[in-house]
């Protein structure tokens, strides 16, 4: 069974175009998202979540040519049931989800509101895999 996922987030690193052994273009793209949650005491905190988005063939070539680190994107595709959760150096939980077979990806021209904090760029170096 497959699950369709729609995500909106910030591209954490420039995409790198590669080719499979059969010659198909492929790009793995890291996308981060922030959302406001409440801790056990009811205080609001920002939680970061990361997605690994895999694009193939013409979609991969489009991403390589038009999407860059810092861009906001909207993507939809099939979710692979791979979730990695770890604790960051600040004690906050972090998670990474994998999306394969992206059906659609678009560069988003509207960015989050001014009160939404930026996804922490340093977190991309802390993913323990």
In the chain, what is the straight-line distance between the N-terminal and C-terminal CA atoms, in Å?
26
Question: Tell me, what DSSP letter sits at residue 119?
Answer: P
The structure's pTM equals 0.69
pLDDT at 129: 34
Domain 3-112 classification at class level: mainly beta
Return the structure tokens found at 1.
């069974």
Cα dist from 36 to 42, 46, 50, 113, 118, whole Å:
12, 5, 15, 13, 12
Domain boundaries, the chain: 3-112
pLDDT in tens, 10-60: 999 999 999 999 999 999 998 998 888 888 898 888 888 888 889 999 999
pLDDT at 98: 73
Residue 94 has pLDDT above 80, yes or no: no
pLDDT at 79: 76
Whole-angstrom distance, CA of residue 50 vs CA of residue 92: 13
Q: How many CA atoms lie within 13 A of 119 on its CB side?
A: 27
User: Closest by alpha carbon to 12, among 71, 93, 62, 94?
Assistant: 71
Residue 125 has pLDDT above 50, yes or no: no
């Amino acid at each position: 069974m497959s699950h369709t996922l729609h995500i909106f987030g910030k591209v954490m690193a420039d995409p790198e175009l590669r080719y499979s052994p059969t010659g198909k273009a492929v790009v793995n793209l890291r996308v981060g998202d922030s959302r406001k949650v409440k801790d056990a005491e009811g205080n609001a905190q920002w939680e970061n979540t990361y997605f690994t988005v895999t694009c193939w063939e013409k979609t991969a070539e489009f991403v390589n040519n038009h999407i860059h680190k810092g861009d906001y994107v909207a993507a939809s595709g099939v979710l692979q049931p791979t979730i990695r959760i770890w604790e960051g150096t600040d004690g906050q939980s972090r998670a990474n989800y994998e999306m394969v077979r992206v059906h659609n990806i678009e560069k988003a021209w509207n960015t989050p509101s001014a009160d939404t904090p930026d996804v922490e760029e340093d977190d991309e170096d802390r993913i323990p895999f």
